Structure 1
Amino acid sequence: MESGPAVFAGAAFTLFGAGLLLWTSVRTRLREPVADGVSPLAATVLASLFGAAFLAAGIWTLTRP
């Protein structure tokens, strides 16, 4: 069974990663900037990569024995 801090960390990583991916996709679909003062392509790619990485880290943390 997972310990309390591992469940909290996994949930935090998962929620942050999913939220970042959702926010990035909505901003991109509405053709609004993802980050001010940055290339739109670079901001979208980096935000998507970090969102996927946080989501994967959260899932990995929650599924560890």
Structure 2
Amino acid sequence: MESGPAIFAGAAFTLFGGALLLWTTVRVRQGEPVALGVAPRAAAALTGLAGTLFLGLGLWCFARL
């Protein structure tokens, strides 16, 4: 009974983390700002860290099944 919410949470976290990492990579490669008004390196680092965290959290949810 607990596998349904774990699958949903794992899918949501994994999709969001993967999309955030992909978006950050594309923006950095194109030389576009990741966040307006923030230093480019700091924005890319923090966004990459958040994407990795969400991706890891999603994988952790799947591992708990």
* TM-score between the two structures when normalised by the length of structure 1: 0.94
TM-superposition CA deviations, 1:3-35 (whole Å, max 9, x none): 111100000000000000000000000000000
Structure 2 match to 1:9: 9
For 2:8 and 2:61, the matched residues in 1 are separated by 10
Structure 2 match to 1:30: 30
Runs of 4+ in 1 over 3 A off after TM superposition: none
Unaligned runs of 5+ in 1: none
Structure 2 match to 1:49: 49
Structure 2 match to 1:62: 62
- Aligned residues between the structures: 65
CA drift of 1:63 comes to 1.0
Q: Percent identity?
A: 63
Q: What is the RMSD computed on CA atoms of the aligned residues? A: 1.3
* TM-score between the two structures when normalised by the length of structure 2: 0.94
Unaligned runs of 5+ in 2: none
